[in-house]
Amino acid sequence: MGQVIKVGMADLKICKAPDVLTTIGLGSCIGIALYDPTTKISGLAHIMLPDSTQIRNNSNIAKFADTGIQKLYDDMLKAGANKSKLVAKIAGGAKMFEMSNGSGSGINIGEKNARASKEKLKQLGIPLKAEDTGLNYGRTVELYSETGVYLIKAVGKDVKEI
Amino acid sequence: MLSLEEVNEKYIDVLKEIGNIGAGNATSAIANMLGLKIDMSVPEVQFLPVEKIGESMGAEDEVIVGIMLGVESDIEGSMMFLMDMDSAHHIINRLMMRPADYNEPFDEMDLSAVKEIGNIIAGSYLSALSGLTNLVITPTIPFVSVDMAAAILSVPAIQFGMMGDNALMIKTEFSDELAINGYFILMPEEDSYEKILTSLGLSL
């Protein structure tokens, strides 16, 4: 195993084999993993919000599903990834608190994030190979560039591989 | 007319004041409930980029307790109270009259006790805010989550992230034999934020 590279909140990074990309404690945010099995070029984006066009203050493009996934895709192609071979896996988008009333943290932003991420992937023609989204708990993810394995760890649960 | 910077500075002062009054109220309410004397440190207001909220309480994967409530009436939004696991166990053990070193995972009863504590603390802060602004502010029922800090804190990060790039957190430390570290986060919707500022005589 190579280096473990950390991706922060509203951040994105790419790597080559044998390095590993990780992001810790995804709540309602989504971790979008892009992978090219032929070159083993890998990318991970940690987005917070679905749509940059709905927000006035949108200078950090890694914060949004639409602009973040686009940037990750562009960076990977620049690094030599094969456009037609790219596949995606996503995790996160939880509803951390069962708030039922209309006010509060923009009801079920997690689900909106997941939907927006899938839409953007579809638009770029990247097949979604697997997902682990929704429910009510946080997830730490690790993307292994050697194999394309996306590991998901949650408190009090078995490690999941997608 | 005030500049944005001046408004922000004054808003921080107000949050500190809310922190002081709110934590004072909360301290006496908790002290009465648990039957012990609690001291409280001067609250500290932290102004930080939303991307950094996840690590503001320590390690991102450290398990913490988050209590979230909606805020209604004159303003709309939500608020959150966060504490580390040691603090939560400490309070719950006191409340349940268990030995101080008991630290089994929380059961249903424990979680409702955590909610009740959250209710008291939130109510204390909100009445401070209400007193300063003359706005009617009512909390909804609390919800609790025990999970990784970064995952819980993604909720306020997203909420603040919709409005801008920075978030405000009030840090308070209560202490008796053991320090109780807590964070209070107020998340008004954009219109309500303006309403709070206007009520305080601050406008852009």
Candidates A49, A103, A156; nearest CB to B71:
A103
A67 contacts: CB under 8 Å, gap ≥ 6: A52, A58, A61
Nearest beta carbon to residue A103 from set B76, B144, B161: B76
Task: Give the model confidence (pLDDT) of B168-180 as tens digits.
Answer: 888 877 776 666 7
- CB contact under 8 Å between A27 and B152, yes or no, is yes
Strand order in the sheet with A30-36: A11-15, A41-47, A30-36, A87-92, A128-133
User: Considering only CA atoms, which of A62, A59, A58, A28 is closest in space to residue A44?
Assistant: A62
To the nearest whole Å, the CA of B71 is away from the closest chain A CA by 7
List, in sequence order, every residue forming a beta bridge with A31; answer none if it has no partner: A46, A91
Tens-digit pLDDT profile for residues B78-98: 899 999 898 889 888 888 888
Task: Say what the pTM is.
Answer: 0.90
Question: Using the beta-carbon criterion (under 8 Å), do A9 and B150 form an inter-chain contact?
Answer: yes
- Inter-chain contact B78–A103, Cβ cutoff 8 Å? yes
Q: What is the mean pLDDT of residues A20-38?
A: 97
Verify whether the Cβ–Cβ distance B147 to A155 is below 8 Å.
yes
For each of the domains in chain B, give its residue range(s) and CATH number, in order of start. Answer: 4-199 (3.40.1550.10)
Q: How high is the ipTM of this complex?
A: 0.91
- Residue A106: which pLDDT band, with cuts at 50, 70 and 90? very low
Catalytic site positions of A:
29
Record: contact A99-B78, CB cut-off 8 A: yes
A55 → chain B, closest CA residue: B162
Asked if A98 has any chain B CB less than 8 Å from its own CB, the reply is yes
User: Looking at the DSSP assignment, which residues form a beta bridge with residue B175?
Assistant: B39, B179
Partner-chain residue, chosen from B54, B72, B105, that has the shortest CB–CB distance to A103: B72
A92: closest CA of chain B, how far (Å): 9
Domain A4-157 CATH assignment equals 3.30.1330.200 = yes
